[in-house]
Amino acid sequence: MVKALARFLPILDWGARYQRSTLISDLVAAVVVTIMLVPQSLAYATLAGLPPQMGLYASIAPLIVYAIFGTSRTMAIGPVAVVSLMTASAASRVATQGSPEYIAAALILALISGAMMLAMGLLRMGGLAKLLSNPVVNGFTIASSVIIAASQVGPLIGVKTSGQTLYAIAVSLTARLGDFNAWTASIGVASTAFLFWVRKGFKPVLMRLGLKSGTAAIVAKTGPVLAIVVSTLLVVGLGLSAKGVRTVGAIPIGLPPFTLPPHAGPVWLQMMLPALFISIIGFVSSISVAQALAARRRQRIDPNQELIGLGASNLAAALTGGFPITGGFARSVVNFDAGAETPAAGAFTAVGLAAAALVLTPLLYFLPVATLAATIVVAVLSLIDVPDMARVWRYSKRDFAAMAATIAVTVVAGVEAGLATGVGVSILFYLHRASKPHVAVVGQVPGTQQFRNADRHDVITAPEVVSLRIDESLTFANASWLEEMVPATLADRPEVRDVVLMCSAVNDIDASALESLGLLNAHLEAAGVTLHLSEVKGPVMDRLQRSSFTQALTGRVFASQYEAFRALAPAACDSRAMDLSENVFGEGI
């Protein structure tokens, strides 16, 4: 009974083996992640166009819920840049930023996306994450990062900007450049430069001060907190708020409130598609981080249970004043490096954030918005992987085209249009590739039973026999192609009397392809050519035998291509391969 429950409640598994040493490791990791998560939560809430405290709220209850339902031992969930941008993009369609209706739309987004992920997890649909190609996800992340960074240029220099596309942001920034504030710009540029330096320069300094490499790396992750403290003290000490430096202002003190999204029917319908995109991107990015970290410790991640964990966490965010969340790469790596051993570290982090919401919020009144903008800019620019684009270009022009289309449309038309374009282009390329699978005329490698592409290797062929290796399943997408391809191959080979379709790579033959095979068989018979099959896989053969095709087939179904070639072209076949096979494998063949 407990084992069955542990499948849906992983806490019962790791909790039963929880030890004091594990507690200490989790507590240390929680302290480090809490320090890192406070500025990130505030920054990503402002990026989403929401009050800063909603970032804290979105990081408390969801962490506790994920500790109960999640399977990753080191995943740290909460607001992330890309999902925050998607939230802003969706909510701004139905309301003005800062309005109660806007906040309600964010709550609805979290509720719907949570319900969607929960439903997909219960339906065991975790494998769907693989249907979104990495080039599309990476292209979407790159374009979103560019938009996010552009949107923060205004706050960095004291100019209010708007828009969800690069063009709209640029127009807004240009129109309001007259609001430029030198004090704000000084804080924003200095904070950005400092945070970039912290990423690589802070650790060596700490090591020179006597800290060990691992400890120095963890402490260096707290650089954003140092930027917040110093910039806040400067605002207070120099009275910069009176000189036009915009600050966070009053943040309500207290724990997350219970919030129930309003029953506004039209808004719910408008949030459905954005919530679906948020669910997909949130899950794909989260599961990739979880699996990468789990592999380092030889642990296992259950994608279906992760959907349940993330879905439940988003529901918790919606009911406690938060907005859509997912697993964050940077904070999860910090959690891992800090020594977290179980999801309890996340629960302890939630306790730390709750304490921050009760105690620290008054101290953040004079926190410059420019510092939060600098935190966002530095975080998202690290997501722009130009070398990855070059690798994809070298490896596959089709995948690069999908990536480029995703980037271009996202930057020009917005995040949802960009993601839809990337998925659409990927599907079109897949269907195009499936409609024209690779086919090779094969021949026997001398002295072996192996058959290889005649255009690539020095092989033995026979003029009266054509052997075609089909490197794709036969489906409705390529059924008509099959009927055209074989006669075209035989057009300039009048001496051919046998055609062998080598099916070693064919994992499926659907009804449309079966009908095409029947027509091909009849057309070849009328032309005096016999059709044969070879190396048909068991499940495929079982289905063929349930049809009338095997009875109508003019030729035979051979167990191997070598057997077909030896039977149909004995004079050309290199029989040494048979002797070699008998000597090496004996009677076990």
- Note whether 411 and 466 are same-domain residues: no
Query: What Å distances lie between residue 108 and 126, 256, 327, CA to CA?
Result: 23, 17, 20
Q: Taking all residues of the chain, what is their mean pLDDT, rounded to a whole number?
A: 90
Please identify, among 403, 427, 451, the residue that sits at the C-terminal boundary of a domain: 427
- Note whether 420 and 474 are same-domain residues: no
- Note whether 417 and 504 are same-domain residues: no
In this structure, the chain runs to a length of 589
Q: Tell me the pLDDT band of 424, cut-offs 50, 70 and 90.
A: confident
pLDDT of residue 339: 85
pLDDT in tens, 336-351: 888 899 999 999 999 9
Total domains present in the chain: 2
- Note whether 225 and 287 are same-domain residues: yes
Residue 437: helix, strand or coil by DSSP? coil
In a domain, 221, yes or no: yes
Residue written as token pair 């392809």? 513
Q: Is pLDDT of 244 > 50?
A: yes
- Note whether 260 and 180 are same-domain residues: yes
- Note whether 342 and 210 are same-domain residues: yes
pLDDT in tens, 43-69: 999 999 999 999 999 999 999 999 999
pLDDT of residue 129: 64
pLDDT of residue 581: 41
pLDDT in tens, 175-226: 999 999 999 999 999 999 999 999 889 889 888 888 888 788 878 877 888 9
Distance CA 439, CA 263 (A): 56
Cα within 13 Å of Cα(59), Cβ side: 37
pLDDT of residue 579: 47
In a domain, 475, yes or no: yes
Q: For the whole model, what pTM was predicted? A: 0.82
Please identify, among 397, 427, 457, the residue that sits at the C-terminal boundary of a domain: 427
| Mean pLDDT, range 98-103, rounded to an integer | 92
In a domain, 523, yes or no: yes
- Note whether 51 and 198 are same-domain residues: yes
Question: What are phi and psi for residue 325, nearest 5 degrees?
Answer: -135, 170
The 3-state DSSP composition of the chain as helix, strand, coil percent (nearest 5) reads: 65, 5, 30
In a domain, 278, yes or no: yes
Q: Tell me the pLDDT band of 299, cut-offs 50, 70 and 90.
A: confident
Six token digits for residue 14: 């790791």
pLDDT of residue 589: 26
Please identify, among 407, 427, 447, the residue that sits at the C-terminal boundary of a domain: 427
Q: Is pLDDT of 582 > 60?
A: no
| Mean pLDDT, range 568-585, rounded to an integer | 65
First to last CA, the chain: 47
- Note whether 331 and 399 are same-domain residues: yes
Q: Tell me the pLDDT band of 326, cut-offs 50, 70 and 90.
A: very high
- Note whether 517 and 388 are same-domain residues: no
In a domain, 434, yes or no: no
- Note whether 217 and 295 are same-domain residues: yes
- The CATH number for 540's domain is 3.30.750.24
pLDDT of residue 246: 94
| Full residue range of the structural domain in which residue 554 is found | 439-588
CA dihedral 167, 173, 175, 176 (to 10 degrees): 160
pLDDT in tens, 103-151: 999 999 999 999 999 999 999 888 776 667 888 888 999 999 999 999 9
pLDDT of residue 542: 94
In a domain, 254, yes or no: yes
Q: Is pLDDT of 230 > 80?
A: yes
In a domain, 120, yes or no: yes
| Mean pLDDT, range 330-334, rounded to an integer | 86
> What percent of the chain is modeled with pLDDT above 90?
65
pLDDT of residue 385: 85
pLDDT of residue 390: 92
Q: Is pLDDT of 420 > 60?
A: yes
- Note whether 443 and 423 are same-domain residues: no
In a domain, 433, yes or no: no
Looking only at Cα atoms, what is the longest distance across the chain? 97
- Note whether 412 and 484 are same-domain residues: no
Question: What are phi and psi for residue 446, nearest 5 degrees?
Answer: -55, 135
